[in-house]
Amino acid sequence: MNLNELYQEVILDHGRKPRNFRLLPMATHTAEGHNPLCGDQIHLMLSVRNGTIEEATFDGCGCAISTASASLMTEAIKGQKVEDAEVLFRQFQEAIVANGDTEPLGVLECLIGVKEYPTRVKCATLAWHALRAALESEEKSATISTETGEVIPHA
């Protein structure tokens, strides 16, 4: 795998011009994602109604990979049922750690190449862990860390 396969045009594009990169004042679920080792942070905001993710936005700062991943993820989950987003989280998570082939993920597939770069897997999964944290948390907001993926509900 060479660098061009990691930094595909779609990643570069979403890295440069992230979609859904804005605050969501009406958010019903939010989560902070931190990568304490490199300092990447994203703030994920969801507006969930009747089991459907009506809006998904983020802000924060990170590398091309984590920004593109958040951008692509928010596009993918917008309009989805919460259960479907959870399935997608699991599929994505599996694909990025698997050795062999896994379910095709459409446009998200471009992020899976990162598995050849072990130090960067955490960048690609940061937004996704934040998604799980936001959805699972009983509270309105939560914080997760790439180090354990553990959810720390805010006090």
- The footprint of another protein (CB under 8 A) covers 2-4, 6-7, 12, 15, 34, 36-40, 61-65, 67, 117-120, 123, 145, 147-148, 150
Least distance (Å) between residue 48 CB and another protein: 26
Least distance (Å) between residue 115 CB and another protein: 13
Least distance (Å) between residue 143 CB and another protein: 8
Q: Which is nearer to another protein, 36 or 104 (CB)?
A: 36
Q: Which is nearer to another protein, 35 or 47 (CB)?
A: 35
What DSSP string describes the chain?
Answer: --HHHHT-HHHHHHHHS-TTBS--TT-SEEEEEEETTTTEEEEEEEEEETTEEEEEEEEEE--HHHHHHHHHHHHHHTT-BHHHHHHHHHHHHHHHH-SS-----GGGHHHHGGGGSGGGHHHHHHHHHHHHHHHH-SSSEEEEETTT--EEE--
Q: Which is nearer to another protein, 85 or 127 (CB)?
A: 127
Least distance (Å) between residue 114 CB and another protein: 9
